[in-house]
Every structure is written in structure tokens, then in C-alpha cells.
Chain A
Amino acid sequence: MPDIPTRDGELLKRFRAGDREAFTLLYRMHQAAVFRFAMLMTGDHAKATEVTQDVFVWLVHHAGSFDPARGELGSFLAGVTRKFLLRRRGEELRWAPLDESFAVSDCADDREAAEGLRRAVLALPEKYREVVVRCDLEEKSYDEAAELIGCAVGTVRSRLHRARALLARKLAGTVERKTEKCQV
């Protein structure tokens, strides 16, 4: 959709002039991406909902902050979402210890492996989780992920490599444990 930036810009301009419908359109175009990223990063529907709401409320009050000449609204919102997630994460860390362990009790299949992966992703450090979400779960290219995260392509590549090694190790441990359990 090559006309998206222009359309986003126009819709935002209309919204700033008081057109509520324009904002509703913008919201419907971008809410899924924002919510998906928040959901994959937090693993919690309620938190993802709150973050999505925070992001768009922020946009309501700071619509002038977006400059269509500097990029797409989707990327802009991704950056805003990331900041809200980091802020929330910082607040959570202040109160709750990070639990990196997880356990899977049933026999493995693809669906359960996916569930195991979801929990393993949530247990990853923030910087690794983000590249896994962007590259593997949202299926962005390295270039796109680098732009969204705000780092070099090489950094994305190395973080993904490291993150996948951690995930594979955790999943392998899970699968091995489950296989042992199933054989009993």
C-alpha cells in the first residue's frame, strides 16, 4: 500500500481539524499491529489492551508529533508502543522479580510447542524478546526490524541468533522432558 503514509497524514490532519471519523479510521488501520506487538511482548491480554489504549490516547493528544515526511505512521506508532512497553516494564520490575523459569506439563504437539515458545519468549530478556517478536512472530525483515527497534541490521541479526539459541535450548529441554513423561 504505497499511499499509506499520505493517507495517514491526511487522516491525521483531518483529525486535528476535529474530524473524529478520521481518527476512528486511523485507529482501525493500526490498532491490530499495536495490540499484536504489545500482546506478544507482554503475553497478557489486559496489559496489551492497556498499552494499546495508552498509545492511541497519546496519539489523540500528540497528533502533531507525527511527521509524514519522516516515515509511516505504523513505524511511528511502533516506536510509541515500544516506549510505553519499556515504561511499563520498568514499573513492573520495580515491584516484581523476573521469573525466567517455566514448565510445561502435557505432551508436546505443535500447538503446545507454540504455547511453550510463547512462554519462553516472555522469559527472554527484553532486547532479545523484541527481535524475536519482530523477526519471527511478526515476520518482519531484518531491515524493517532494525528500523522499528532503532538499531543496526547487524545488531538485529546477532540478537536474533542469540535469542533463538536460548529459545531452542529451552524448547529442547521442554520437549525432552515431555517425551520422557509420555513414555512413562
Chain B
Amino acid sequence: MPGVNCREFEGALVEMARRAPLASEERTRLTAHLEGCETCRIVLNRQLRLSAASEVLAAEAVRFSAPASVEQALLREMTNMHRLRRRIVYGYLGGAIAATLALVWWIAYRPAPPSQAVAAAENVRQVAEPVAAALKRPASAHRKRVAKPARPPEQPFIAIPYTLPLEPYERADVMRMDLPVTALIAAGLPMSMADPAASARADVLVGQDGRARAIRLISISTSN
């Protein structure tokens, strides 16, 4: 059985010092080398001392444990994280709800479709045009004249375009007033008046919120 030299012994030195299991044949060869080599014995002794010190240190290390403050800090961190996540979730949720409400509101209160608006405007035109035509006729004398009522008083009210209809339960008042024709034009009523200073007497249907909803023309007077 051939022996080992110092270089070969050095290769197995750490395993011997760490008490790693070695084949009996190899152990015999290493032991035989140790008996004849003082240097390797010294090196092995140093390694064995190192192993003993390592064991002491390892036994101490087993008891190492993080201080309780770390756990508390982590719990705080988790609380903060969950709070932040909750805020983000609630933020998204709130945004979604607001968007949904805005959509619902827009659908419920959007302006009347063009067809309805055109129909309302047509009604107004039918009422207003004869009056306007009468007013356009050349005046026989330079005196202020008052046009005849456009329609009998029993004429129905005409909805002002782009306003909400009255609710069934809503209270309304009828107010008679003189209005500039330009205001009627601005409200969407198709008035083809040559005189911008003309005024119209009309019954105005005013809703509970104080907004005019419909109008019934009674007469139109020009400034000249």
C-alpha cells in the first residue's frame, strides 16, 4: 500500500480536521504519513484547534435571534403596506363609481335628441311665422302698431328646446311677461324678425326651480 506525500496529505487535511468520514484505507495512509511528518502534524493540530474554536462559535451562533424590535417594525410595515393598498383599491373603486354616476347622469339628463328638438322648433315656427309675416308687412302709417294675437289664447304651450320637461309632481306657474324677441331667438325659438328691438308678450311656464320650460306667444310688437 503506497503512502501519501505532504501535498496529498494537505488535500485531505481539512476533511480530517472537520472529522469528515474517510475510507479506512485512506485514513490508514494518512495516519502513517502523520507518524513520519512533523510539519503535517503541526498543520493538522492547527486545523483541529480551528475546528474546536469553530464548534464553540457555532454553538453560540445557534442561539442568535433577531431582536423583538424587528418583528414590531415588520408588523408596522405590513400595516402601512395594507393601508396603502387599501387606499389604492378604494381610489380605483371611487373613480369607477364616480365615472359610473357621471355616465348615468349624462344618460338621464342629456339634451333631447335632435328629432325632438326639431319637432319642438317646428311647433314654435308654426306659431311664430304668421305673426312675423304680419309684422313684415309695410306699415301704412308711421305709428306703432300692435300685432294681432298670433293664436287664440287656447294655443298650447311650446316647450323651450333643450330644457327638461316638467316632472309629473312638479309645481309650475304661468307668468305673463314682455320679452325681447332676441331672447326668444337665443332660447332656440326660430323667429325670423327683421326688427331686433321687437318685443313679444307671452305666457311663460316656469318650473319649481324657477326655470322657464315652455312658452305661449300672445303678441309681438315692433319698436317702430
Contacts and interface: CB of A to CB of B under 8 A. Distances in A.
Interface in B14-48: 14, 17-18, 43, 46-47
Contact of B53 (A34, A57, A60, A113): A113
20 contacts: A20-B75, A23-B74, A24-B71, A27-B74, A56-B70, A57-B73, A110-B56, A113-B53, A114-B53, A116-B53, A136-B54, A138-B58, A138-B61, A160-B14, A161-B14, A164-B17, A171-B46, A171-B49, A171-B50, A172-B49
Q: Interface majority SS on B: helix, strand, loop or mixed?
A: helix
A168 to B, nearest CB: 4
Contact of A168 (B46, B65, B71, B73): B46
Interface residues of B, number: 34
A53 B64 contact: no
A103 B169 CA distance: 98
A49 B69 contact: yes
A111 B57 CA distance: 8
Interface string B56-90: 11101110111101110111011101100000000
Interface string A144-157: 00000000000000
A31 B66 contact: yes
Contact of B66 (A18, A35, A116, A160): A35
Interface string A61-74: 10000000000000
Interface in B110-152: none
Interface in B165-197: none
Q: Interface majority SS on A: helix, strand, loop or mixed?
A: helix
B64 A113 contact: no
Given A61-B81, A113-B53, A132-B54, 10 more contacts: A28-B71, A31-B70, A31-B71, A49-B67, A57-B73, A57-B74, A114-B56, A116-B53, A139-B58, A164-B14
